Amino acid sequence: MRLSRRLMTATFLLGLCWQPVSSLAEPFPAPTEEVILTIDGKLGPDTPAGGIALDLSGLKALPATSFTTRTIWTDGAKTFTGVSLRRLLEMAGASGNTVWAEALNGYQVEMNIPELHPEFPIIAYQIDGVEFSRRDKGPLWIVYPYDLDERYRSEVSFATSVWQLQKMTVE
């Protein structure tokens, strides 16, 4: 997928920082703290039984993406930092075309993996550089750079902006 010139410029202006994935085969660090995200389903052959379990440090050890945007849920522009959903699934060796994202409240939504942009949405673990609690839609929230492009202000983007994300299943 290629970024349009307009999107690239806007992305640059928004101060996006993106680092390439160092190695797709690199294993995820084993969790030592509270597990906040599990990924299961159709994943790579090295996946442990029961799926991939990640704690906050494990997520923070992965390449991070940041962008600043307003949202329909927060006041004023905020800087969100997290892991690109698409890249995380690639690192997990996802071999299906669909991912189900599931939240703490049982909300579930389906996303088409090939249609995901390489960088957006992200699974955000920080807002303005600080972790956020379940009360504030944390600790993990799927967010898009809504201000960047009209397509991120669509019903599909809003419906897949899952807060209190706790599980993803690849089908």
Ligand X SMILES: Nc1nc2c(c(=O)[nH]1)N[C@H]1C(S)=C(S)[C@@H](COP(=O)(O)O)O[C@H]1N2
**Which residue number, 12 or 150, has a Cβ lying nearer to ligand X?**
150
Q: Which is nearer to Mo ion, 30 or 159 (CB)?
A: 159
Gap between the Cα atoms of 150 and 144, Å rounded: 11
Q: Which residues bind ligand X (CB under 6 A)?
A: 73, 103, 105, 107, 158-159, 161-164
Residues β-bridged to residue 32: none
Partner that binds at residue 169, options ligand X, Mo ion, none, CB closer than 5 to 8 Å by kind: none
Query: Considering CB distances under 5 to 8 angstroms, the limit depending on partner class, which of ligand X, Mo ion, none binds residue 146?
Result: none
* Least distance to Mo ion, CB of residue 11, Å: 26
Give the CA radius of gyration of the chain.
15
* 20-24 CB contacts, 8 Å cutoff, 24+ apart: 20/63, 21/63, 21/87, 21/90, 21/91, 22/63, 24/90, 24/91, 24/93
Out of Mo ion, ligand X, none, what residue 107 binds, judged by CB under 5 to 8 A for its kind, is ligand X
